[in-house]
Amino acid sequence: MHEALAEEVRPLHRIAFFQDFDANDGRLEASRVAVAGALLRHELEHARQYDAVGSDTFDIDDQFLDHAIRQRVGGLPSGTDLYNFKPMELDANAAAAMYLRDHHPEHLDAILKGPHASLARSLTPPETPETLLERTVACLFLFRDICDRNAAKSGIEFWKHLKVYDSRAAELWRALDGHNQ
């Protein structure tokens, strides 16, 4: 653990995997290796995304999109369905599904029926990470009412909050909202 937190590796991507991963879930026994590989491929896709778009898109996803989803469905049954609809997660799950289809096709049916079904639930590969900002803002726009209501509390229009992170994100929001630049 100390090696993973060492100063010289802090700029690198790190993925932690616990030895007892789903050890008590008998449904996964035959598919454990396949699910572990799919989880790793999912996380590697996030690293690939980060390298392509940088931290601003991740911050917009975390600070605004996650927050809006939590306000809409936080704690409700199947609320994670909206979380898995985020472009960042759709792409990471698509990468995992392609891995499963290529390396463990015999486990697809079992995984689709289990607790990690989202890792196998794509028939297409991930989209290019370079479009992630645009797709994230478009997804966030689905929660425009929540974003506008939250922004109103600060007295600052929502697109100006986005502009702090990325001016393109602010321009996209304004375009979606019908404003001409």
DSSP 18: -
Residue with tokens 């607790």: 115
- Alpha carbons 35 and 80: distance in angstroms, whole number: 19
Residue 178 neighbours by CB distance under 10 Å: 6
Q: Which residue has the higher pLDDT, 74 or 112?
A: 112
Residue 162 neighbours by CB distance under 10 Å: 25
Residue 38 neighbours by CB distance under 10 Å: 26
Give the model confidence (pLDDT) of 160-177 as tens digits.
Answer: 999 999 999 999 999 999
Alpha-carbon distances, residue 173 vs 11, 136, 145, 163 (angstroms): 31, 10, 13, 10
Say what the pLDDT of residue 75 is: 85
Name the least confident of 14-23, 28-37, 75-84, 121-130.
14-23
Give the model confidence (pLDDT) of 15-63 as tens digits.
Answer: 666 666 555 556 667 788 899 999 999 999 999 999 999 999 999 999 9
Residue spans per domain, the chain: 2-176
